[in-house]
Structure 1
Amino acid sequence: MKLNKMGERAIIDRIFSTGNVSQEPDDCSLMDCGDKYILFTTDSISEKVHIPELATPYEAGRFFGSINLSDVAAMAGIPESFMASYNLKNDMEIEYLSEFSRGLSSLLHEYKVEFVGGDTKEADENIFVGFCIGRQEKDLVRKRSYIGPDQILCLTGNVGKVGAAYISYKNGIDVRESSRRMLDIKPRLDVAEIISRAGARFMMDLSDGLFGCLSQMKHDYGYGFRLVEHEVRMHGSVDEISKITGMPKRDIAMNIGGDYELLFTIDNDHFGEFSREMETNNIDISYIGNTWNGNNIIFDGERWENIEEKGWEHFSIEPDAPEE
């Protein structure tokens, strides 16, 4: 079977089943170091797939660094070191590479992460591979396996900015600005450790969209989610793009992904203390549903319905492309 008939998550399942992988399916792998964990993660982008046509190399470099650091944030870790491997076409302009590296360096400097080296190779396509190392006290690391029944589902910030930019880009609407916004993401390192200390249970980032994350957690751990649609805060551009294109706001905000906000749970009996801590630290949190021993469902204000969407997946049909 070809990969484009399987989808990314089925491919990962196959790798895990045949590769003797001992780690849990978290955003980072962990190394036990006494009272701390060392966190390892890697993520990659290709110019052809991930960098919009009118995005600048500086913007692409910052995006490249951000998606790697976001994996560390998703487990409430503190990133410390970064390495990069560049597979480059021999006709790439050196000015492009210099600007890409400048963007990456500015991002790493912003979060006090040291660039410690890497590798370059000649290739038929421009591909950038990152590797980030972080650390955290064991009791502050948030694993996905900490999910349980009747926990409150929480979300930082809002969703849909990148989804709206993606739909705009695909429809030729303000292509330059849409290109910029597609890559303008921030790893939530500013709030991740505070949320963990305040009592978060499982945590992950929204790289593949809200529906994608719920589907993945249901698949991996068996718990479903009851999501209340009007509690999910959508970026202001979602409504505008929905009106222009006719695409439902729910699909733009929850099914495309790329926002890299944090999705997490807290224990039900801890809500009062947790919400006060968030207010004290001026952290914007939405309480959007809860976990339960059923399917993933969403309440639209009138009725509950099953969530059939699976979010963004590589090796699958694009969100706005018709099925054959």
Structure 2
Amino acid sequence: MKLEEIGERAIIDLLRRMFDRGQPHGIGDDCALVEWGDQYLLITTDVVTQRAHLPPTATPYQVGWFLVSINLSDVAAMGGYPLGFVAALALPRTLDLAYVRELARGMDDCAKEFAIAILGGDTKESGEIALAGTAFGRVRKDRVLLRSGARPGDLLAITGDLGRGGWGARELRAGSHVDRATELLMRPHARVEEGKLFADSGAVTSCMDISDGLGTTLGQMSQASRVGFEVDWAKVPVYTEVRALPTTDAQSLALYWGGDYELAATVRPEQADALLRTFQEKHHPLALCGRVISAPPNALIVDGRQETFEPRGWEHFRSEPLKP
């Protein structure tokens, strides 16, 4: 059986069964958890490859920013405070040194944005660019956010807006708005402050970052919490350029493409208004666009009609990457 026949999710399930040793919090959240006094040490890693992630229009600075930001997005999803970052860089021997300088500058600027440092790493020769980043963070044990914990009646909250990554990919494939589209794809902003607000509020029962599309995100949260979701399409915060598209196209980019790195959280209904006020005071957009129901399948409400909200999105080994 080939990996392309089963996809990334099934591969992760296989590895989880092999590696999970019955830890209090096992494999399956955005970060690994290590006991650290009254806190957890958060550890996450993400690989960026030339074929799967890097459009030919991406500058090395953007690539460096992207590598750090997508890892910090996982720390944000757990309600964590970032501590540091290390990277392993596999690079072709023919690559210009100027590329490495700009790559490092992008990494460093993103790290500075979140008040951490690049602490070290490794470099190796490779046939093509492949970059592995590892971020560390911390969170109080009584405030950690997991993918599990949602309960029927909780409300669904989403930071920012969805569809920027999808719109960027669509425009790049069409060869239009190239600079803007590349920037949207390669310069996500990890929602670290929003994750901290979620954790500190005591209102949030579960959380996950939206890296591969809301469809697959809610599918995984649904499985972790053994609940379902009902989402109102009209209330989903959608990137302006995407909302203007025909509904089918807009849903494809906003719900199923990915690359937005926003946060999806479930919120206790009696604390939702207070959480919204906190986000407004901090000038962080937050939208309530659905609710938790007792069981799957997940549902999408469109113009008063209930449709199946498919648990799909970007999936490595199956989805078609951007090509030069």
Given the two structures, how large is their TM-score scaled by the length of structure 1?
0.93
Q: Which stretches in structure 1 are left out of the alignment for 5+ residues?
A: none
Residue in 2 that maps onto 1:282: 283
Q: Secondary structure at the match of 1:7?
A: helix
Q: Separation in 2 of the partners of 1:283 and 1:95?
A: 36
CA contact (8 A) 2:50 2:128 kept: yes
CA drift of 1:179 comes to 1.9
Are 1:314 and 2:316 matched, yes or no?
yes
What letter is aligned with 2:155?
I
Residue in 1 that maps onto 2:231: 227
- Give the alignment's Cα RMSD to 1 decimal: 1.9
* 1:99-138 matches, cutoff 5 A: 99-138=102-141
Residue in 1 that maps onto 2:167: 164
Residue in 1 that maps onto 2:258: 257
CA contact (8 A) 1:62 1:106 kept: yes
Pick closer, same or farther for the CA change 1:275–1:178 going to 2, 3 Å: closer
Return 52-61 or 16-25, whichever deviates more.
Answer: 16-25
Q: Separation in 2 of the partners of 1:31 and 1:222?
A: 25
Pick closer, same or farther for the CA change 1:68–1:172 going to 2, 3 Å: same
Q: Secondary structure at the match of 2:267?
A: strand
Return 11-20 or 255-264, whichever deviates more.
Answer: 11-20
For these two proteins, the number of residue pairs brought into alignment is: 318
Residue in 1 that maps onto 2:183: 180
Given the two structures, how large is their TM-score scaled by the length of structure 2?
0.93
Residue in 2 that maps onto 1:304: 306
Q: Secondary structure at the match of 1:265?
A: strand
CA contact (8 A) 2:51 2:321 kept: no
Residue in 2 that maps onto 1:69: 72
- Aligned-pair identity (%): 34
CA contact (8 A) 2:63 2:103 kept: yes
Q: Separation in 1 of the partners of 2:223 and 2:142?
A: 26
CA drift of 1:297 comes to 0.3
CA contact (8 A) 1:158 1:261 kept: yes
Residue in 1 that maps onto 2:6: 6
Q: Separation in 1 of the partners of 2:294 and 2:90?
A: 45
Pick closer, same or farther for the CA change 1:217–1:309 going to 2, 3 Å: closer
CA contact (8 A) 1:53 1:179 kept: no
For residues 250-305 of structure 1, give each alpha carbon's deviation from its aligned partner in whole angstroms, at most 9, with x where no partner exists. Answer: 11111101111111011122223333333333332110111112310010022111
CA drift of 1:128 comes to 0.5
CA contact (8 A) 1:31 1:37 kept: yes
CA contact (8 A) 2:146 2:207 kept: yes
Q: Secondary structure at the match of 1:204?
A: strand
What letter is aligned with 1:256?
W
